[in-house]
Amino acid sequence: MTLGVVILAAGQGTRMRSKLPKVLHSLAGRPLLDHAIQAAKRLSPVRVVVVYGHGGEQVKAALSDPDLIWVEQKEQLGTGHAVAQALPALQGVDQILVLYGDVPLIRDRTLSSLTTACMYTDLALLTAAFDNPVGYGRILRDANGKIERIVEHKDASASELEIKEINTGILIAKSEALEGWLERVDNSNSQGEFYLTDVVELAVADGVCVQSSQPEDLDEVAGVNDCAQLALLERRFQEWQADRLMRKGLSLRDPNRFDLRGSIEFGQDVTIDINVLLEGEIELGSDISIGANTVIRNCRIGDGVLIRENCVLENAVIGANCTIGPFARIRPDTELAADAHIGNFVEIKKSQVGSGSKINHLSYIGDSSIGSKVNVGAGTITCNYDGVNKHRTLIGDGAFIGSNSSLVAPAEIGAGATIGAGSTISGKTPDNTLTLTRAKQLSIKGWKRPVKKLKE
């Protein structure tokens, strides 16, 4: 049986009070709409159609996915009208599943059980029991528990408002039948809208036994209407994700203070302390410890690495057994070979650092290639920028750079060279030689400190 998915995303989302279309607001680093799209794609449908309205071009541009079919709903005349707009793009599929661009947490298992419920009938609804069903459509069943119809909150009688079983909005139907029902839906209701929910009554009139299934977790069917709901669902997403990762052996000191906005691979015995944020694609080896308050974006980190507290690492490759931090900043295009030590208040950008090299205190290293077993003294700065162009600094294996040196690029420090503390170096310095630039030290005999003048 072939499946097509319609994702409704035409609503404006005024309650977000944002210039950004609601479905582009981000949850775990991805647009809300992308969560629905990925949930759809995991079902291997033959087509995914997104019904868009407000901010259409912006939404399309943000989700440049060649597999998607975009259908514009110029006026938001109701959910039934929205699904009808997608039907021409879904010709030939056997079943149609309706999802929502602002309902991001729907799980695969819930959708597959809904699909199963529709196997031998023409319509199945995802319903849920809510303690507080205010605002939702209610599921009306007969004495035998058979679904009869859905009544919207605004159209419901006092006794119907007592019903706790609500319509989540997510449903699946045989496509030919759905097309027929949608042609017959009208807008004679309190909101003057074409309700998708009216297909239930029409199906029952056709003798269809409407089936239902329920989500495992109520947050799966929760929609985002404002920033508070967005934050709530972000937490739920993070909770579920952390739970999954911990079951695979990732050791989180406190799953409530861990955020992953992207994907992660990790080996054995990786420990992550509190308030760590991981973004993008993260690859971690084994025996890694990540200290509190650290942010890591798109990095590959080797076995045995120790990252101490308060570090920021971005687009970098960290070799095995390196130690980093506390308070280190590793910027894009940095590669640390094995056993490098990067200490506090050190910033490294677009540089390679060889194995066993140490940059332990208060340095800026930019556009540099540093060999192995190099010692970069405290306060060493590469002056990589002349105000117009960036230049490289090369430091040979085994070099020793004295503290508080300025390496004015382009500069090349020989292998085994020593640079005297406080030097300003440019150009080339020879291998295995001490180079220093330093004013002669002077002591003045008999010099007296000034004294305060007495008032007259």
Candidates 25, 47, 73, 344; binder of ligand UD1 (CB under 6 A) is: 73
- 166 binding ligand UD1? (CB under 6 A): yes
* b/e burial code for range 58-89 (CB count within 10 A of at least 16 → b): ebeebbeeeebebbebeebbbbbbbbbbbbeb
Closer residue to ligand UD1 (CB): 76 or 275: 76
Closer residue to ligand UD1 (CB): 96 or 399: 96
Please report how close the Cβ of residue 102 comes to ligand UD1 at its closest, in angstroms.
5
Task: Scan residues 100-159 and list those touching ligand UD1 (CB under 6 A).
Answer: 100-102, 136-137, 150, 152
Q: Beta strands 312-314 and 295-297: pairing type?
A: parallel
Question: Could you give the CA distance from residue 223 to residue 234 in angstroms, rounded to a whole number?
Answer: 12
Instruction: Give the residue among 79, 111, 43 at the shortest CA–CA distance from 178.
Output: 79
Stretch that binds ligand UD1, among 2-10, 58-66, 237-245, 430-438 (CB under 6 A): 2-10
Binding flags for ligand UD1, 5-44, as an x/- string (CB under 6 A): ---xxxx---------------------------------
Binding flags for ligand UD1, 221-260, as an x/- string (CB under 6 A): --x-------------------------------------
* b/e burial code for range 260-290 (CB count within 10 A of at least 16 → b): bbbebebeeebebbbbbbbbbebebbebbbb
- 323 binding ligand UD1? (CB under 6 A): no
Binding residues for ligand UD1, rule CB under 6 A, total 27
Question: Could you give the CA distance from residue 259 to residue 11 in angstroms, rounded to a whole number?
Answer: 29
Q: Is 37 helix (H, G, I), strand (E, B) or coil?
A: helix
Binding flags for ligand UD1, 300-319, as an x/- string (CB under 6 A): --------------------
Q: Which helix (H) or strand (E) holds 368?
A: strand 368-370
Closer residue to ligand UD1 (CB): 3 or 224: 224
Phi, psi of 129 (to 5 degrees): -95, 115
What DSSP designation does 137 have?
Answer: P
Candidates 63, 196, 264, 284; binder of ligand UD1 (CB under 6 A) is: 196
Contact status, residue 307 vs residue 294, Cβ threshold 8 Å: yes
Please report how close the Cβ of residue 148 comes to ligand UD1 at its closest, in angstroms.
14
- 203 binding ligand UD1? (CB under 6 A): no
Closer residue to ligand UD1 (CB): 81 or 349: 81
Q: Is 173 helix (H, G, I), strand (E, B) or coil?
A: strand
Q: What is the 3-state secondary structure (H, E, C) of 309-364?
A: CCCEEECEEECCCCEECCCEEECCCEEECCCCEEEECEEEECCEECCCCEEEECCE
Candidates 110, 197, 321, 352; binder of ligand UD1 (CB under 6 A) is: 197
- 264 binding ligand UD1? (CB under 6 A): no
- 76 binding ligand UD1? (CB under 6 A): yes
Please report how close the Cβ of residue 83 comes to ligand UD1 at its closest, in angstroms.
9
Stretch that binds ligand UD1, among 76-84, 307-315, 326-334, 395-403 (CB under 6 A): 76-84
Write out the catalytic residue numbers.
361
Question: Could you give the CA distance from residue 411 to residue 353 in angstroms, rounded to a whole number?
Answer: 16
What DSSP designation does 20 have?
Answer: S
Closer residue to ligand UD1 (CB): 79 or 351: 79
Q: How many DSSP H helices and E strands does the chain contain? A: 7, 38
How many C-beta atoms lie closer than 10 Å to residue 449's C-beta? 4
Note the residues at the interface with ligand UD1 (CB under 6 A).
Answer: 8-11, 51, 73, 76-79, 81-82, 100-102, 136-137, 150, 152, 166-169, 195-197, 223
